Amino acid sequence: MSDPHDYQQTPTSNPGDEQTPTSGTTSDQQTPTSAAAGQTPSEGAISPDAGGMGNGLTHFNAAGEAHMVDVGDKAITHRAAVAGGRISMLPATFEMVCAGTHKKGDVLGIARVAGIMAAKRTSELVPLCHPIGLTRVDVAFRTEAADSSVHCEVRAETRSQTGVEMEALIGLQVALATIYDMCKAVDRGMCMTDIRLLEKSGGKSGDYRAL
């Protein structure tokens, strides 16, 4: 039998304050009365709009499922985007890249071609990107002796119903990764940083320029 003292109330308790005897409970525990406890499962669950779905994240539908955005009704306009970033390396590696004396050949020349090729295949690498016809891809490098780094900018352009930000970003990252690949035998500590969209133009969202 249970010990009667487990449920004994203090003499000052009002009869209405007495708790229903339940093992393992204490006098300061409350019966669930909060709004959260009173909610039905659908009210307490996270809605598809939580976390931004339905609030600007266009690659999710109303049910929170990933989908390719329908751009069929958009106007065909000129669109452009520029992405930038850099790769830093040891001074000896930097000198080799600038002088073109790497045993694998022209590092920057090969990286330029790799960036162009990657931009053209963006829709095969990023699942929800639309395949679009690029009218221009330009990969430009700038060397900085002060910090032994190579800066890269990729510009992509199209006449299409969707933008080319991802094409510029993918082209940039593959160009920098190609530099790393060609030089990793002599410098595995190279570091790719500051990768970002620098500007875009065209389309319903208007123009953008990084600060």
Give the active site residues: 181
Cα distances (angstroms) measured from residue 16 to each of 13, 22, 51, 77: 8, 16, 44, 74
Give the pairing type, strands 149-160 and 191-201. unpaired
Closest CA to 178 of 104, 111, 91: 111
- The sheet carrying 191-201 orders its strands as 134-144, 149-160, 77-88, 191-201, 208-209
Q: Which two tokens stand for residue 16?
A: 């209405």
- Taking residue 30's Cβ as centre, other Cβ atoms within 10 Å add up to 8
- Annotate 86-103 with b (16+ C-beta within 10 A) or e (fewer): bbbbeeebbebbeeeebe
